[in-house]
């Protein structure tokens, strides 16, 4: 394991943070390999695995045919026999073509075998809209996987989270889905050089505040920060909680915040109906009903596939403006 001194101010883009995480993980553990479509020679269509083939060779950085069920099986079979695979599914939208492997095989093998299987498998992918890629390349489907016992799900909201959560995901002895967000790949932030881990199942207070809680996932974290700045001018002091891990969900941190602020809004990119926001809202009202001054609100995508046309897509994808509007509505302003 390499552990270079970290310059405190060093900034990396989200995509570089993933790349560095992958590189350092693979240096540290020869049982880790990366497989996926165009991850090797091309370095990944988003550039996340650039340079890995040169450093680790084609045994450990594996281009695969376009065959996602085979690919997931490759990961599962390898994990069940002692390796620590990282499997890349290029776009989260493609999870449908290997859904059985993820949900009926990967997620359940351990339980069905009475606990005997240990499956240190990471599935990394890219979620989200806003790139003009239309209905089949823009989805945020994390709610599906959060509903499946046996899986863990993380959604990094920035470069720091992208590396730290990846490290924890890969080192975890369970199947973990890492739902990265493609529209923030160029976002830059401080990322320590060393191989650090962000614990799974722990939410993070991104911005402390006193009278309104926003629970935001993925890109909605930065949108919420923008919204919070705007709302601050109106005397609304927003606390932002980034769950980071959606399964297992750190409901404790969320309700602790709501106990203080008495109001909560959940913001995610996924379709609002049946999104993870529904579960969080349901749990919040179950846990701290008496503290709530208003119903728990939710911001998510409307009930439609993601449209291609730029003005429609802009309307579709939740953003700071929609969050601000919803907070105001909840406060009766």
Partner 1 sequence: MDTDRDTLIDLYLRMVRIRTFEEQAGKLQEAGKVPGALHLYVGEEAVASGVMSHLSNEDQITSTHRGHGHLVAKGGDFKKMFAELYGRETGYCRGKGGSMHISDLDLGMLGANGIVGAGPPIAIGAAFSNKYRKTRNVTCCFFGDGASNEGTFHEAANMAALYRLPVVFVCENNGFGEFTRQERHQAIQDIADRASGYGMPGVVVDGMDVMAVYEAAGEAIERARRGEGPTLLECKTYRFFDHVGVRGMGVVYRDDSEVIEWRKRDPLVLFEARLLEMNTASAGELQQLRERVLFEVEEAIAFAEASPFPADSALLEDVYTVTGG
Ligand X SMILES: Cc1ncc(C[n+]2csc(CCOP(=O)(O)OP(=O)(O)O)c2C)c(N)n1
DSSP-based three-state secondary structure for 330: helix
Give the shortest CB-90-to-partner 1 separation in angstroms.
Answer: 9
Stretch that binds a second copy, among 56-64, 117-125, 146-154, 172-180 (CB under 8 A): 146-154
Cβ proximity to ligand X: between 39 and 181 the closer is 39
Instruction: Tell me which of 67, 232, 304, 325 binds a second copy, using CB under 8 A.
Output: 304
Tell me the longest C-alpha to C-alpha distance in the chain. Answer: 60
Instruction: Tell me which of 14, 56, 94, 212 binds ligand X, using CB under 6 A.
Output: 94
Residue 43 Cα to chain centre, angstroms: 21
Give the shortest CB-37-to-ligand X separation in angstroms.
Answer: 5
Stretch that binds ligand X, among 89-97, 140-148, 194-202, 204-212 (CB under 6 A): 89-97
Cβ proximity to ligand X: between 90 and 167 the closer is 90
Contact (CB, 8 A) for 183 and 132: no
Cβ proximity to ligand X: between 117 and 134 the closer is 134
Which of 138, 296, 295 minimizes the C-alpha distance to 219? 138
DSSP-based three-state secondary structure for 178: strand
Annotated active-site residue 68? The verdict is yes
Instruction: Tell me which of 28, 45, 83, 99 binds a second copy, using CB under 8 A.
Output: 99
Report how far residue 162's alpha carbon sits from residue 276's, in angstroms, rounded to the nearest whole number: 20
Cβ proximity to partner 1: between 86 and 284 the closer is 86
Site for ligand X in 47-66 (CB under 6 A): 66
Report how far residue 18's alpha carbon sits from residue 167's, in angstroms, rounded to the nearest whole number: 9
Contact (CB, 8 A) for 231 and 148: no
Q: Does 90 interact with ligand X (rule: CB under 6 A)? A: yes
Cβ proximity to ligand X: between 14 and 91 the closer is 91
Q: Does 158 interact with a second copy (rule: CB under 8 A)? A: no
Site for a second copy in 49-88 (CB under 8 A): none
Chosen from partner 1, ligand X, a second copy, none, partner binding at 54 (C-beta under 5 to 8 Å by type): none
The per-residue b/e assignment along 113-146, b for 16 or more CB within 10 angstroms, e otherwise, is eeeebebbbbbbbbbbbbeebeeebbbbbbbbbb
Give the shortest CB-196-to-partner 1 separation in angstroms.
Answer: 14
The catalytic position among 101, 137, 268, 326 is 137
Report how far residue 32's alpha carbon sits from residue 2's, in angstroms, rounded to the nearest whole number: 15
Which of 86, 150, 67 minimizes the C-alpha distance to 124? 86
DSSP string, 178-203: EEEEGGGTT-EEE--SS---PPTT--
Listed in sequence order, the residues at least 6 apart from 109 whose beta carbon sits closer than 8 Å to its beta carbon are 76, 80, 117, 119, 150
Site for ligand X in 66-85 (CB under 6 A): 66, 68
Stretch that binds a second copy, among 26-34, 44-52, 219-227, 287-295 (CB under 8 A): 287-295
Asked if the bond preceding 56 is cis, omega within 30° of 0, the reply is: no
Stretch that binds ligand X, among 21-29, 72-80, 90-98, 301-309 (CB under 6 A): 90-98
| Cβ-based burial of 17 (10 A; exposed 0-12, middle 13-18, buried ≥19) | buried
Annotated active-site residue 190? The verdict is no
**Size of the chain in residues:** 333
Instruction: Tell me which of 154, 240, 258, 296 binds a second copy, using CB under 8 A.
Output: 296
Q: Does 149 interact with a second copy (rule: CB under 8 A)? A: yes
* Residues with catalytic function: 68, 137
List residues near ligand X by CB under 6 A: 37, 66, 68, 90, 94, 97
């Amino acid at each position: 394991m390499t552990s270079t001194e970290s310059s405190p101010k060093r900034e990396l883009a989200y995509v570089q943070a993933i790349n560095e995480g992958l590189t350092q993980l693979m240096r540290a553990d020869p049982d880790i390999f990366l497989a996926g479509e165009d991850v090797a020679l091309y370095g990944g269509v988003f550039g996340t695995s650039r340079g890995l083939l040169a450093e680790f060779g084609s045994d450990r950085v594996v281009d695969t045919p376009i065959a996602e069920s085979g690919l997931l099986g490759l990961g599962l079979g390898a994990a069940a026999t002692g390796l620590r695979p990282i499997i890349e599914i290029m776009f989260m939208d493609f999870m449908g073509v290997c859904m059985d492997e993820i949900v009926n095989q990967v997620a359940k093998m351990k339980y069905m075998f009475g606990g005997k299987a240990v499956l240190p498998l990471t599935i990394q992918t890219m979620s989200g809209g806003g790139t003009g890629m239309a209905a089949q390349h823009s989805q945020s489907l994390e709610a599906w996987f959060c509903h499946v016992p046996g899986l863990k799900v993380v959604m990094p909201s920035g470069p720091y989270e992208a590396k730290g959560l990846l490290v924890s995901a890969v080192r975890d002895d369970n199947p973990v889905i890492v739902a990265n967000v493609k529209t923030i790949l160029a976002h830059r932030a401080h990322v320590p050089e060393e191989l650090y881990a962000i614990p799974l199942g722990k939410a993070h207070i991104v911005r402390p505040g006193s009278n309104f809680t926003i629970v935001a996932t993925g890109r909605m974290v930065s949108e919420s920060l923008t919204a919070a700045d705007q709302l601050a001018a109106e005397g609304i002091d927003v606390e932002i909680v980034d769950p980071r891990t959606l399964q297992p969900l750190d409901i404790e941190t969320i309700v602790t915040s709501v106990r203080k602020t008495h109001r909560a809004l959940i913001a995610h990119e996924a379709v609002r109906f049946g999104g993870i926001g529904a579960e969080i809202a349901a749990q919040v009202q179950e846990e701290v009903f008496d503290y709530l001054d208003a119903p728990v609100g939710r911001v998510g995508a409307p009930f439609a596939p993601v449209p291609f046309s730029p003005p429609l897509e802009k309307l579709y994808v939740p953003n700071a403006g929609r969050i601000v509007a919803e907070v105001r509505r909840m406060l009766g302003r």
